[in-house]
Structure 1
Amino acid sequence: MAKEIFMTQWFSDEMLLAGESLIRQLDASDAKVQAAFWLLDAEDKTWKLTIVSPLVESEGPRSYYKRINDINESARPDEKVIALHDISVSDTNNRIVKAIKRSVLGDDAMLGNNRLGRNTLGGVYIEDMYLYRMDWVLLGNNVPSATTKNAAPPLSP
């Protein structure tokens, strides 16, 4: 069985790579990942990987967690995986996604594969965050069209 990564209050390369791998596999299974990011809880100092997909609303969170669990169970013994208790799934009404959408202005918004932290975005304080991607086209049209070109591309296999 694959090895679960150990979470600390510090963001690690191991967490970054395990998240990339999971997102890539979710993409391959047509899981409709529209946003994905690690978020540090300011009080608990714990990290959660958040996956945002419309399938969470249409199929239910339990079904989406099962999809992730199936990916984890199929991992090679030498692969690192993220335990389900360190993952949060959300529909597209996620408060962090909405906050980032409210804060995006103009062509200089570089969103995707970025570390954001100690910042207030759209009225929400972000202690620390690693953003893999936001698919502005799929998340809706309330974002200036110039930022669409800055959305992070899908992770390559």
Structure 2
Amino acid sequence: MGTATLVDQEIQDGKRLIDALNQAGLSVNSALWLYLPEKETWRLMLTSPIFDKEGSLKTYKEIISVFGKVQPELKINWMNLVAVSPQHKLIQGLRKLQKDWNFNLLGKRLTNNTVNHIYVDDAYIYQIE
């Protein structure tokens, strides 16, 4: 990616990857692009039950395996993928936000907010489950 702006291509490619991961049986619960201002980069954060059951290494292996098979080729850098537990503090906070406010975050942008004591400079949310 390399820029501080998340563009439609990254959003579309992220969705294609999430769909491919789900079709491959990885069961992505939550997914979002998260901007890290200190690194001036975006990360595609993905959660799956596999992370808690089999660990981060197995999760990354599964993600990278599917990533390489998506056609047409994804334009996002695989090094910008971050696999985390569905119990990650940010994911828990977003889940609670949806429930408390009866508000679906699907396809929403979150900018300059604090969620569960975590500052979110910018994020694009695909899904939170």
TM-score for the superposition, normalised by structure 2: 0.89
Contact 2:90 / 2:118 at 8 angstroms: preserved in 1? yes
User: Any idea what the Cα deviations from partners look like across 1:84-132, whole Å, max 9, x if unmatched?
Assistant: 310000111212112223434233x131111111112233211000000
Match of 2:16, SS state, is helix
Which residue number in structure 2 is paired with residue 88 of structure 1?
82
Q: Specify the code of the residue in structure 1 equivalent to 2:124.
A: Y
User: Any idea what the Cα deviations from partners look like across 1:4-59, whole Å, max 9, x if unmatched?
Assistant: xx331101111101100000001101112110000001222210000011101212
| CA distance in 2: counterparts of 1:102 and 1:122, whole angstroms | 9
| CA distance in 2: counterparts of 1:82 and 1:133, whole angstroms | 19
1:63: Cα distance to partner?
Answer: 1.5
| CA distance in 2: counterparts of 1:95 and 1:61, whole angstroms | 16
Q: Does 1:11 align with 2:6?
A: yes
TM-score for the superposition, normalised by structure 1: 0.74
Q: Indicate which of 124, 131, 139 corresponds to 2:118.
A: 124
Which residue number in structure 1 is paired with residue 60 of structure 2?
65
Larger Rg: 1
Contact 2:17 / 2:70 at 8 angstroms: preserved in 1? no
Q: Indicate which of 37, 48, 54 corresponds to 1:42.
A: 37
RMSD: 1.6
Q: Specify the code of the residue in structure 1 equivalent to 2:109.
A: R
1:81: Cα distance to partner?
Answer: 4.1
Which residue number in structure 2 is paired with residue 110 of structure 1?
104
1:65: Cα distance to partner?
Answer: 1.3
1:80: Cα distance to partner?
Answer: 2.0
Unmatched 5+ stretches in structure 2: none
Q: Specify the code of the residue in structure 1 equivalent to 2:11.
A: L
Match of 1:93, SS state, is coil
Contact 1:116 / 1:128 at 8 angstroms: preserved in 2? yes
Match of 1:80, SS state, is coil
| CA distance in 1: counterparts of 2:67 and 2:114, whole angstroms | 34
Unmatched 5+ stretches in structure 1: 1-5, 136-157
